[in-house]
Structure 1
């Protein structure tokens, strides 16, 4: 039920317990400022479990981004929806050692394409804090356009709509 998606450099794979320490450390740090953090360890655990639980509940969720060859975990990409998200949302995070290498772009593009083609979603959005310039630029690089009319939980969020490819 949970796919594994391969790209030229990456393997997007299901979450395992081995992913918890790095995920937890990131979410408890200042680097999680645009992801609802820094979080307590308990809240980070809830986010981690949420990403797994979405798969049987909604038919999508999060995948860890692993480097081909080494298997080193580089971050996460996910499709969220449910009572916390007005629309299907694609989001991403990369660990500090993976930044600036195009990892988030490659992973988000592959997972976006899976969601639209394989899962049959009609549209995807990305909710981005306007101060998160790097995620704004990534959404634009992915071809997403600002949608000022889109519903959002946080009125400050920018909503980037990803085109069906």
Structure 2
């Protein structure tokens, strides 16, 4: 499956392209990646970048970049992950520093979540979150997700927030 393009009021969620690599690599190698397994080496970041693209072909879902409709600036990423590394379909997000605190992740995650429910027929998604990642916890709650203490997880320390089809 080819990755879709999803439009929101302010953003275009679009397939990844090679031009996205430098900013993605910089983020994944920085302390901002601490809740995503980082900071990573450049090689590990490249593996994640390729993983995010390959999921579309392998599983029919994956990551999309968040692009500002007006400026064309890439502001971050939102994705649905699943496969051998994820017990359930997971929705995750990150934004670059210049986009933080502007509702970018909320608008993008809501759009991709709704796409997953509508187009993929998913009834639930989860977000695996580090206990210390307060910003993502608040975002998951703002999206209507609820803490699910019984959900399977790879890391027993993760909190799992469940998003349900409405």
Q: Secondary structure at the match of 2:139?
A: helix
RMSD, aligned α-carbons: 0.5
Structure 1 consecutive aligned stretches of length 4 or more whose deviation exceeds 2 Å: none
2:123 and 2:164 in contact (8 A); partners too: no
Could you list the per-position Cα deviations for residues 2-22 of structure 1 after superposition, in whole angstroms to 9, with x for gaps in the alignment? 100000000000000000000
Instruction: Encode CA deviations 1:28-66: one digit per residue, 9 max, x unaligned.
Output: 001100000000000000000000000010000000000
> For this pair of structures, how many residues does the alignment match?
165
Q: Shift of the alpha carbon at 1:70?
A: 1.1
Gaps of 5+ in 2: none
Q: Superposed, which structure 2 residues align to 1:14-163 within 5 Å?
A: 14-163=15-164
Deviation of the 1:160 alpha carbon: 0.3
Q: TM-score, normalised by structure 1?
A: 0.99
Structure 1, unpaired ranges of 5+: none
Q: Give the drift of 1:69.
A: 1.4
Residues 101-122 of structure 1: CA deviation (Å, up to 9, x unaligned): 0000000000000001111112
Task: Report SS of the residue matched to 1:150.
Answer: coil
Shift of 1:91: 0.0
